[in-house]
Structure 1
Amino acid sequence: MPKRVLQGVVVSDKQDKTIVVKVERRFTHPLLKKTVRRSKNYHAHDEGNKFKVGDTVWIEETRPISKLKTWVALDSSTAA
């Protein structure tokens, strides 16, 4: 099964080696036929503490690292 890769914005970097990334998705409402935006926060592993609040990052699904972290932040060189 391929690993999912998502793009989002860092909203918190207060924890050591962890960032919180807000990922927004857009879809058409089935009844109203209007574009709706929904967002979700993901905890991602950031080994070098490189990313700061406001940065746009790619995150990739991985094995569970902790209770909340199942995503890892990708470098700009390894991102699609």
Structure 2
Amino acid sequence: MPVKEKVGVVISNKMQKTVVVKVESRYPHPIYSKTMIKTRKYLAHDEMSECNIGDQVLVQECRPLSKKKRWSVARIISRSSLIT
């Protein structure tokens, strides 16, 4: 079975080896056909703590690492221009 992957933006990196990634999915409204945006937050494992707020990352599904953490950062797609 293939590994699930999602692209999102890091919105928090205040935990040790963990980042919060916001993933947006777009879908048409069933009646009005307006494009709707659904946002979901995932806790992802960041082993080297190299992600910063605003980075665009690829996360992939992994075994449960804690109560809420089931995703890990596969790679950083683009760095944020924010200086932290």
Match of 1:19 in 2: 19
* Distance in 2 of aligned mates of 1:5 and 1:44: 12
Partner residue, 2:49? 49
Q: Which aligned pairs between 1:1-80 and structure 2 lie closer than 5 A?
A: 1-76=1-76
* TM-score scaled by length of structure 1: 0.92
- For the residue of structure 2 that corresponds to 1:13, the secondary structure is strand
Higher strand content, 1 or 2: 2
2:69 match: secondary structure: coil
Q: Distance in 1 between matches of 2:21 and 2:61?
A: 13
Where does the alignment leave 5 or more consecutive residues of structure 1 unmatched? none
Kindly report the root-mean-square deviation, in angstroms, between the aligned alpha carbons of the 2 structures: 1.2
Per the TM alignment, residue 75 of structure 1 is displaced from its structure 2 partner at its CA by 2.3
Q: Show structure 1 runs of 4+ deviating over 3 A.
A: none
List alignment gaps of at least 5 residues for structure 2. Answer: 78-84
Identity %: 44
Counterpart residue type for residue 38 of structure 2:
R
Give TM-score, length-normalised by structure 2. 0.88
Distance in 2 between residues matched to 1:37 and 1:51, nearest whole Å: 25
